[in-house]
Amino acid sequence: MLQPSMSTDDLQPLIDDPRPTGGRQAESLVLVNTGNGKGKSSAAFGVMLRALARDWKVAVLQFVKSGDWKVGEEKMGRQLGVTWHSLGGGFTWDSDDLQHDIDLARAAWATAAQVLAAGEHDLVILDELTYLCTWGWISTEEVVAAIVNRPPKVNVIVTGRDAPQALIDIADTVTEMHHVKHAYDQGILAKRGIDY
């Protein structure tokens, strides 16, 4: 999407190499996919596939979706050897007992903290984790500490809207998905194979 001050004349192929001079390799990275647009989890699962192609051990922990969901990424992830945990209670607007959901969230975070600390995975995806922090269901400070103090080889991806600033501050890469247009805007429900 063109910025108001841009014209198509401003869009030219890069001539200069954009990579930093004296770049270095990192033992691991922290990525945050946030924003109000679609694609935060999908982008993380794309990295999951890339990691699996490099023979990395991968764990996914989902904090809102429950084990009752039958999502395509879980089916394929499990088939490819991903350690998968669907630990949530589902969408909050469907909940009959928010306290139960909060208790599930806290137990889910305890599991995630153990997975991070164990260092058995090269990539840990903490899908939908930002919601638990912004709702105050778990401590953002605890999340940040667990990520900062993880074993050196463990790469982490955190997804969800409204990522807390403390999480953004410790991340190496932060991408904000921006809502431009969504099928929901036209009354179209989630489509199997595209949305889940």
The CATH number of residue 58's host domain is 3.40.50.300
* 86 inside domain: yes
Q: Give the model confidence (pLDDT) of 3-50 as tens digits.
A: 666 666 678 888 888 888 888 899 999 999 999 999 999 999 999 999
* 152 inside domain: yes
Structural element, H or E, at residue 157? strand 155-159
Q: Which residues of 128-144 are buried (b: 16+ CB within 10 A; e: fewer)?
A: bbbbbbeeebbebeebb
Q: Give the model confidence (pLDDT) of 126-164 as tens digits.
A: 999 999 999 999 999 999 999 999 999 999 999 999 999
* 108 inside domain: yes
* 18 inside domain: no
Q: Under a CB-based contact definition with an 8 Å cutoff, are residues 153 and 28 in contact? A: yes
* 104 inside domain: yes
Cβ partners under 8 Å of residue 27, min gap 6? 152, 153
Q: Report the number of distinct structural domains present in the chain.
A: 1
Rg (CA), the chain: 18
* 2 inside domain: no
Q: Give the domain extent around 99.
A: 27-177
The overall pTM is greater than 0.85: yes
Place of tokens 């969800």: 160
* 61 inside domain: yes
* 145 inside domain: yes
